[in-house]
Amino acid sequence: MAIHGIGLKLIDAMIGYAREQQLKVIPLCPYVDEQFKKHPDLYQHVWNKSFNSQRDKCCQ
């Protein structure tokens, strides 16, 4: 059973739902946060960046 890519499939489903519902995403999961930062152009419409910048400042 191939398990590679399951995380990205979950992210894709979550992003699709967020777009449909016009929601913003706060990527608290380290994997999701990493993907958002690696590919900001893919997630810019749903990414709540203001929360991330505040979290980054407080948690350094």
Computed over its alpha carbons, how large is the radius of gyration of the chain?
A: 12
Q: In 3-state terms, what secondary structure has residue 58?
A: helix
CA distance 12 to 15: 5
pLDDT per position in the chain (60 positions), as tens? 455 699 999 999 999 999 999 999 999 999 999 999 999 999 999 999 887 655 555 555
**Global confidence as pTM:** 0.74
Which of 1, 43, 2 has the alpha carbon at shortest distance from 23? Answer: 43
Instruction: Give residue 55's pLDDT.
Output: 56
For the chain, domain boundaries: 6-58
